[in-house]
Amino acid sequence: MSTSRGRPGSVLQRDSGRPAAARTQRRADGGDMTTLITDLPYGPRAAEVAREAVAVALHGPMQTDLLNDARLIGSELATNAFTSGSPPLVLCVDRRSPTVGGLEVEITVTDGGCPLPGPTSLPAPEDEAESGRGLVIVEALADAWSLTTGTHGTRAWCRLTRGVLSSPADTN
């Protein structure tokens, strides 16, 4: 079941585990904005579903590295929300394409909160550790990011800004 949520172009997919279709709207300045909001399963599949949902939201021509970075960030934020937070897990992906070129992607993952305070700085993971690199990866790939933690909700947000691939028709 999909229902509108708060702002035009938003979708909330209620059957966890399947990304909703992204909705695109034409902005007054001639650019496009696509928003996808979906529940993530509270479990190990959260990362996989987040990667799929990011790919759905970022349809169309773009640099492959942006898509790969955004999918990785979505996966890392979802994993952190599952391992450190509580349900519900919600992913929001906003894609803005201004008429002057370029592309801005914002990825937000929220969860039901964590009883422990969030990190005040990013600790360096042990060389042999199998986890603990998620926020370090987000910091390395994102142009801006933030983490707000609390007992009633946690919000991890980031922004990626890149140029748009030219279509073959644009190069002639």
Q: What is the pLDDT of residues 23-74, one digit of tens each?
A: 666 655 557 888 999 999 999 999 999 999 999 998 877 778 899 999 999 9
Over 80: is that where the pLDDT of 20 sits?
A: no
Look over the chain and give the mean of its residue pLDDT values, rounded to a whole number. Answer: 77
pTM above 0.75, yes or no: no
Over 80: is that where the pLDDT of 104 sits?
A: yes
Q: Over range 75-84, report the average pLDDT.
A: 94
Write the CA distances from 110 to 87, 104, 129, 168, integer angstroms.
9, 20, 25, 39
Domains of the chain: which residue ranges?
2-116+132-167
What's the confidence (pLDDT) of residue 158? 97
Q: How far apart are CA 127 and CA 60, in angstroms?
A: 38
- Give, for 119, the enclosing helix (H) or strand (E): none
Over 70: is that where the pLDDT of 106 sits?
A: yes
Name the superfamily (CATH) of residues 2-116+132-167.
Histidine kinase-like ATPase, C-terminal domain (3.30.565.10)
